[in-house]
Amino acid sequence: MIDNVPPIRNRWEESERVMANPGFRFAGPDVKIKDISRGLMTNVVPISVSGTRGAGKSDFFDALVGAGPTDSGMSRELESHDIEVSRGGRKVTCTIVVPPAQDGQIKKKAFEGFFEHQHFPRGAIHVVSGGYDRVWRDEEQLPLLEELRYETAREEDRVAALLGQTMAGEEITQVLIDKHMPTPGQLLRKVMRVAELQEFKDVCRALASAWRQAETDEKLWLIIVVTKADLWWQDHLDEIKSYYLPPATGPGSPFTGALRALGQAVGTKLVNVAVLPFASNNSTFSFGDLIADSTEPHVQASCLDDESITALQQALRHTLGEFNGV
d(CA 65, CA 86): 12
* Identity of the amino acid at 144: L
d(CA 45, CA 62): 19
Q: Which residues contact 173 (CB under 8 A, 6 or more apart)?
A: none
CA angle 14, 19, 25 (to 5 degrees): 75
Measured in degrees and rounded to the nearest 5, phi and psi for residue 109 equal -65, -40
Q: Which domains does the chain carry? A: 5-137+198-323 (3.40.50.300)
Mean pLDDT, residues 248-258: 91
Q: Which pLDDT does position 277 carry in this prediction?
A: 97
Are the beta carbons of 98 and 46 closer than 8 angstroms?
no
pTM exceeds 0.85, yes or no: yes
Q: Which residues contact 102 (CB under 8 A, 6 or more apart)?
A: 53, 74, 75, 76, 136, 137
Are the beta carbons of 287 and 135 closer than 8 angstroms?
yes
Q: Which residues of 71-82 are buried (b: 16+ CB within 10 A; e: fewer)?
A: eeebbeebbebb
DSSP string, 119-131: G--SEEEEEE-TT
Q: Which pLDDT does position 165 carry in this prediction?
A: 83
Measured in degrees and rounded to the nearest 5, phi and psi for residue 169 equal 90, -10
Confidence of residue 289 (pLDDT cuts 50, 70, 90): low
Tens-digit pLDDT profile for residues 64-111: 998 765 555 555 566 788 899 999 889 999 988 877 665 566 666 666
Highest mean pLDDT among 141-155, 169-183, 186-200: 186-200
DSSP string, 150-217: HHHHHHHHHHHHHHHHHSTTS---HHHHHHTSPPHHHHHHHHHHHHHHHHHHHHHHHHHHHHHH----
